[in-house]
Amino acid sequence: MELKKDSNAVSIDMLLIVHSEKRRAAQGTHSDRQADPGALPQRRGGLQGIGNEIRKWQKIEENGLYGNLAEKQHPQQTQVITSYDNQGTQLTVEVHPRDAMPQLLKKFSLAKRTQGDKNGNTRPRQPGGKDAHAYPWDRSSLKSMPLDLRQFEKLDTYASQVTVKSGLDELVNELLQEAHSDLERVRAIWIWICHHIEYDVEAAQEKDRQAFKPSNILRTQKTNCDGYAGLFEKMCRIAGVQCMTVPGYSKGFGYQTGQSFSGEFDHAWNAVYLEGRWHLLDSTWGSGLVDTATSKFTFLYNEFYFLTHPALFIEDHFPDNKNWQLLKPPQSLRQFENNMYHKSEFYNKGMLSAHPETPVIRTVNGKATVTVESRAPTLFMFMLNGKQEHGLLSLQKNGMKLEVYPPTMGTHKLQVFAKGSSDIYSSVLEYTLKCNYVDLGVRLPAELHQPVGPSWFSEQMGILKPSHPDPIIHTSDGRCSVSFGVEEGTSVLASLHGDEGPVSEETQRRYIFQLHREKRVELKVQLPHAGKFALKIFVKKRQEPGNYVFVFNYLLCCSNTKVNWPVFPESFGNWGQDNELLEPLSGVLPANRNVPFKLKLHGVAKALVKGQDTWPLTLNGEGYWEGSCSTAGCREVYVMVLENANHNFYSYILKYKVNDQ
């Protein structure tokens, strides 16, 4: 076209490059008119949402760095402006004196497109077959190329400590002082952005276009996802590394399990070209997270999103162009919406798979089952509607099994957390649980904590070879006996918990009588009534300060409504670990009766029973102390021992109550 206004009129030549259908097919790109189950629905008006924001970022960048062409450049000077979009379309505009020869046809080559940055970087082909990774994930690596993160330790430390500069060129040049390959250049830029640029929640909500401008990002050290991606691409260009910004949908801040995606894209990330292949990364999510309750950003570096394996990246990133999935076969938007979303911490903490593989699950006969496979033994916990209730979570050598029993019909939120090698539990899975039937016969005690049943963890804590390896114990008469080996120097504490009204901590332990035989501990349990109870096991190293630590619990079940066992006698600190009580086992004795006693006591000189009067116990040939006591006229009965024959001080070891007359 021509602009004729004065003697300094200029001609503007425009050259639009559009690949032929044949060439596009060769590159794996489908015609817009071709039906494609994996493609996004066609929109009018071009790319929307983030796509438009990215174009505007480029416009602001050009205006900010080079000024207005019409105002700041002499009209006789030839200028060539080249622009690309992420689908490979190239638009080149040449502004030259009216009578001058256009330079476009002389310089343009279909074989090699000029990128237009000061380093003369070129863009390679669109992603094709050699870039694609197999789907689903083969469990080989979290990364799209072999990496030893230890090789980056020195570079990461250096890049994270580089201070903010006034210009990108100066910043990139300083970052590259310790980078000696394209991979290291990308790593240095990644580390710097992730540790210095804060996610601007307010700008993201207001869609502030100025937040995309590099000079503003460096000044405020804040931006949103488009700014992160645009800044990363610009810094890579300066460093001489091929990089593209990729817009699309994401399962990020505000995502609801099972939601559908349509309309504007809500996120942007990058693809970098390293060692002859495209790779994906997301510096926005690598830098930290936004608290859903406060909408505040917190720096929390996440290695997962650096050169992520595409089969994992697709779980929460769906690009506008399916070729940027870098997958074979590519996934459709419907698959993206319906596939299970494993959070980055799922893989960071060594998880491999989870079942069910859909985000929405339904109960069967009032129960839903979730299993997780992990690379190594891992601690788990769960929450149903924000509470650690209504489920049985058992640890396995490489994973866990969870059975959930929703207390009401309807929709529930189920979250699974894992601890991994850190001391913090992180959310790794989230399901929407739909329940259309409640089994009223399955009411679990509120105090039934996680995990249930012995496991690798209880063995690690010093509890060995349990008599009951399964987490649930059924008893028909309301009594049971549980035993396990104990490592030397380990003390065990147990308590019983039901849901029948408030019970004191002392009473919770009185329905359990603990015996020691050699290196094994036996817990005799008597249930006060029918129902379900949590038998909680705690341990503590005797020589170490601090409290007992919860290890696991059993679920005890009894349907016999005639069960009404009393508590065991109360034991005191002098009750020896190797002592054994044969009778009476009931902690409540009948009034006005002669009650027989039989115990095995170690290391004592004398033993007696004290009520209204005192009755001595005698040692028989089998090593048991025997005798009887009258409960007439007393409310309490004590068993006492004399440990040293040369002393006259007796110690209390057992206490019984006597029924009222």
Q: Which of 131, 200, 225, 629 is an active site residue?
A: 225
Burial class (CB in 10 A: 0-12, 13-18, 19+), 11: middle
Contact 453, 471 (CB under 8 A): yes
Answer yes or no: 267 catalytic.
yes
Residue-level pLDDT at 648: 83
Give the whole-angstrom CA distance, residue 508 versus residue 511. 6
Give the whole-angstrom CA distance, residue 372 versus residue 399. 5
Answer yes or no: 225 catalytic.
yes
Q: Which of 133, 196, 267, 317 is an active site residue?
A: 267
Q: Which of 282, 317, 390, 435 is an active site residue?
A: 282
Residue-level pLDDT at 348: 94
For the stretch 223-265, pLDDT in tens is 989 999 999 999 999 999 999 999 999 998 888 888 899 999 9
Q: Which long-range contacts (CB under 8 A, 24 or more apart) does 126-131 make?
A: 126/27, 126/28, 126/29, 126/87, 126/88, 126/323, 127/28, 127/271, 127/278, 127/323, 127/324, 127/326, 128/27, 128/28, 128/323, 129/28, 129/328, 130/276, 130/277, 131/277, 131/278, 131/326
Contact 234, 214 (CB under 8 A): yes
Residue-level pLDDT at 204: 72
Across the strands, what pairs with 13? Answer: 94
Give the whole-angstrom CA distance, residue 567 versus residue 586. 6
Pairing of strands 277-281, 426-435: unpaired
Answer yes or no: 243 catalytic.
no
The residue to which tokens 């590259």 are assigned:
176
Contact 469, 397 (CB under 8 A): no
Which regions of the chain are under pLDDT 50? 1-13, 15-76, 84, 86-90, 100-118
Give Cβ neighbours of residue 103 (< 8 Å, ≥ 6 apart). 78, 80, 94, 96
Residue-level pLDDT at 28: 35
pTM of the model: 0.75
Across the strands, what pairs with 434? Answer: 362, 411
Residue-level pLDDT at 30: 32
Contact 583, 625 (CB under 8 A): no
Residue-level pLDDT at 52: 34
For the stretch 176-231, pLDDT in tens is 999 999 999 999 999 999 999 999 888 777 765 555 788 889 999 999 899 999 99
Q: 3-state DSSP call for residue 407?
A: coil
Residue-level pLDDT at 510: 85
Residue-level pLDDT at 602: 86
Q: Minimal CA–CA distance to 283: which of 188, 356, 365? A: 188
